[in-house]
Structure 1
Amino acid sequence: MGAPLSPRSAQVIDLDSVRQRHQARKTLIRLAPELDGLEMVYQLASSPGTYYGMPLLAWGLREDDHVVGLVPWMEQLADCHTLHNHENGHFIGYRDPETEEIFDAPPDHKVDELVSSADYFEYEPSGEVTLIQQLPDTLGTHALCMNRPESPWHMKPVFGWRLYSDGSVDALLADEDKAKMTPILLGDDCLYSAKSRHQSVYFFQRHIANRILEEDPATLDALAMVVLPQG
């Protein structure tokens, strides 16, 4: 005979709440710029035998205490470990171009820097989303901005990045009509958050952005493959 059933009622598990809690632990709480030229290494399905390198913009400390490399990628400042799409890019590891060493864990000195600064600048949580940190963009990143599918796009240099208390990160762009001094620096009144004005934003490395601005046919064809599905 089977075992008797327990008289207690079955426990209801809210899977959506579990997912939200799990995702919340992956939110960023602190950033540190990468200033030694370390790179992200990735592969593409179109070239399975080739490794590609992309300079890291920064390192990020997540709420779950993990430290991850960050790169401007498609529509966001992306955690390298989340790039699993073989068509657009599959993360392999980090690389020191000076030694050509490939490794999968962040450098100890960056972990120590982030943990120490997070302890020092610990903020009190509040009901409002507040600005936590700003970093300058050191890679020459450009943002392709669109407001409607049928409207013209604009390519704008990224001057910096903002980390907010909810873990979101947004790029800082310049309103050229309001720029009063050069070079433009963090804190200038002409800077604004990309998401506050533009419906769609795609980030590109400096050399790709210049090809787009020069209207290189092959680059524009590849760009259409990225942008058109969003229309």
Structure 2
Amino acid sequence: MGIPLSPRPARVIDLETMRQRQQARKRLIRLAPELDGLEMVYHLPSESDAYYGMPLLAWGLREDGEVVGLVPWMERLTPCQSLEDPEHGHFIGYRDPETEELFEDPPDHKVTELEQAAAYFEYEATEEPTLIQQLPETQGTHALCMDDSGEPWQLKQVFGWRLYSDGAVEALLADERLIDSTPILPGDACLYPGHSRHRVVYFFQRQIANRIRREDPATLEALALMVMPADQEG
């Protein structure tokens, strides 16, 4: 006859706490600029045979050790692997335009650079987010900034990027009233994080920003369709 086992107390699993821990391990802890022209390749489901290349701005090391390519996409500096939008694009891989090689994983030299830098610059966790790194903007990225509903939007050049201890990355924009010297550099007092003043910030590559400035009809029509949901939210 078997010996009855004493019942174990039920273990309560806090799903919200687990989710927060998983998200924390995905936060960025270090950035490295991409200076060799490597690209992200993506595919638009609406164009079955078309593939597009977009220059990588930087590489990012996450707390869990994963390294991801980063591009200014829609409203944030976005990890390439998170592009799974049926309308705007699906991530395919990385590409070296010089050799036309297509690859899935970040290059070893960038992985090593990020791991060594993260080991060298050890930051202590703080309750309030603190600035841990600044990168210059190297691609002419622009930001379309919207405030309260009904107010005109502004098209601003991005001058740099800030990484904070909570993993957030903010674009640096210039307050034209405070510019006292040029060229504008990441440490200048006229710069501010975009979301500290603007309700919505959309990022564009330089050539798209120039089309907006020239008031290209097709570009403005696409822009109106894109920003309409944000206006309705306000």
Normalising by structure 2, we get a TM-score of 0.95
2:136 match: 136
Secondary structure of 2:218's counterpart equals helix
Secondary structure of 1:221's counterpart equals helix
Determine the C-alpha separation between the residues in 2 that align with 1:6 and 1:138: 65
Aligned partner of 2:55 in structure 1 is 55
Instruction: Say whether the 8 Å CA contact 1:161–1:171 is kept in structure 2.
Output: yes
Aligned to 2:9: 9
Unmatched 5+ stretches in structure 2: none
State the distance in 2 between where 1:5 and 1:191 align.
Answer: 66
Residue identity matched to 2:35: L
SS at match of 2:49: strand
Q: Summarize deviations over 1:16-54 as a string: whole Å, max 9, x none.
A: 111111111000000000000000000111112111000
Q: Return the letter of the residue paired with 2:165.
A: S
1:207 is matched with which residue? Answer: 207
The number of residues matched between the two structures is 228
Give the equivalent residue in structure 1 for 2:194.
Answer: 194
Letter in 1 for 2:51: Y
1:7 Cα shift?
2.4
CA deviation after TM superposition for structure 1 residue 225, in Å: 1.8
Please show how residues 29-68 of structure 1 align to structure 2 within 5 Å: 29-68=29-68
* Distance in 1, Cα, partners of 2:177 & 2:134: 23
1-structure distance, mates of 2:191, 2:178: 9
Partner of 1:160: 160
Displacement after TM superposition at 1:6 (Å) = 6.3
What are structure 1's unaligned runs of at least 5 residues?
A: none
Structure 1 residues 73 and 5: alpha-carbon distance in aligned structure 2, compared to 1, 3 A threshold: farther
Q: Does 1:19 align with 2:19?
A: yes
Mapped to 1, the partners of 2:10 and 2:123 lie a distance apart of 40
Identity %: 70
C-alpha spacing 1:6/1:144, structure 2 compared with 1 (3 Å): farther
Tell me if 1:95 matches 2:95. yes
Does the 8 Å CA contact 1:141/1:204 hold for their aligned counterparts? yes
Structure 2 partner of 1:80: 80
